[in-house]
Amino acid sequence: MSDSLEIPKHIAIIMDGNGRWAQQRHMPRKLGHYRGAARVRSLIEYCTRVGVECVTLFAFSTENWQRPAEEVDALMALFIEYLDKELPAMLENRVRFKAIGALDRFSPEVRDRIRRAEQQSASNDGLFLNVAVNYGGRWDILHAVQSWQAAHPNAALSELSQDVLSEYLSTAGQPELDLLIRTGGESRISNFLIWQAAYAELYFTDILWPDFDEAALQAAFDWFSARDRRFGKVKASI
């Protein structure tokens, strides 16, 4: 990898295509999710190696509850298994884990496991890993406004600014989102990080998530590095 490549500080991934990957192989959809989860560790390690500071993964959306109960149960079980299995490696790699989303929908036992993983990794100084579960971008914005109001009961809503609202989002204190990747051939954001994606580069690939390997991630970084990010301004040299 060339030193001159610009590495995104914060990447987010919509890990789409697990179901189709499994169906193409005449396997149950949940096996596709398992293969998808198995992809995550090496990609996180790769991100750490190249200097990415924050990775946000969309594991379960507020809309995913509408899937068949069997698939919802499998995704929940997978998330818990992922936490239990990956925590030692996360701690070893100094990863700071955070679950983002409306966690009150989960059982006290699940919430307790999430909190324990967050607490154990909180003093790490490595990559921020946000796993979005029961997450929706509109929920994030509404929740931020409500949290701000709860913290400032006597303030008028007109006092709330964009910068202050950002401090109440799930990604508060983390680098701005630079690159949003969606695998699986669709070109939508699907209610993921809609506030944070305002100036992110959007990268869509047909690769199904279980096939998205380090080379595929590097291709996304190469593409990102070639972008001319103007943030609404004109180029300084013009």
Answer yes or no: are the C-beta atoms of 222 and 5 closer than 8 Å: yes
Indicate which residue of 3, 18, 64, 93 is catalytic: 64
> In whole angstroms, how close is the CB of 79 to ligand FPP at the nearest point?
5
Q: Quick check: 64 binds ligand FPP (CB under 6 A)? A: yes
Q: Quick check: 190 binds ligand FPP (CB under 6 A)? A: no
| Selected range binding ligand FPP among 18-26, 89-97, 115-123, 138-146, rule: CB under 6 A | 18-26
Q: Closest CB to ligand FPP among 9 and 41?
A: 41
Active site residue 134: no
Indicate which residue of 3, 16, 112, 163 is catalytic: 16
Q: Quick check: 136 binds ligand FPP (CB under 6 A)? A: no
Q: Quick check: 101 binds ligand FPP (CB under 6 A)? A: no
> In whole angstroms, how close is the CB of 182 to ligand FPP at the nearest point?
10
Exactly one of 12, 40, 117, 217 binds ligand FPP (CB under 6 A); that residue is 40
Active site residue 64: yes
Enumerate the active-site residues: 16, 64
Write out the residues near ligand FPP by the rule CB under 6 A. Answer: 15-20, 33, 36-37, 40, 57, 59, 64, 75, 78-79, 82, 131, 184, 209
